[in-house]
Homo-oligomer: A and B are copies of this chain.
Amino acid sequence: MQRTNFAEMACSIARTLDVIGEPWSPLILRDVWAGMNRFDQLQADLGISRKVLTERLNHLVDQGVLERHPYDRRPRYEYRLTTKGAELVDLLLVMTAWGDKWLAGQAGPPVLYRHHACGQISAVDLRCAHCGEPMHAGDIDPLPGPGAAG
């Protein structure tokens, strides 16, 4: 497909999609976060085509989400999350919470998260960074910002 370029849109959602919106990219991020750092590990775990994996890894490195670290005298690299990439994992946590609630069915969630601070199995909850109260779709009004188009 000749895909539309989301990066140029005056919308942070579209721009974020340009970084991790392609098929497989969020799952690659998930795996790297979970400690799968090498090409063949990722390829085997995901069952992704090697060609596509190469493209995705290059893109994620170009975008500053992943870094290549040599681990051998041969040209061998591990992929690790940058700070920018680690903060993208928040997105995965929210996807997990939504998928667990709406798509897991009788079997229940495939993965549970234990929170270090309290030691409990838990999920993420969205709060206002300013007042700490819940912040969801119906709790906010969008306004044009400084970077608005036009």
Contact = CB atoms under 8 A, between A and B. Distances in A.
A68 to B, nearest CB: 19
A15 B100 CA distance: 9
Contacts of A148: 110-111
A113 B121 CA distance: 31
- Copies of the protein in its oligomer: 2
Which of A84, A89, A114, A145 is packed against the most chain B CB atoms within 10 Å? A145
A87 B138 CA distance: 9
Interface residues of A, number: 86
A36 interface: no
A44 interface: no
Given A23-B3, A115-B130, A149 B110 contact: yes
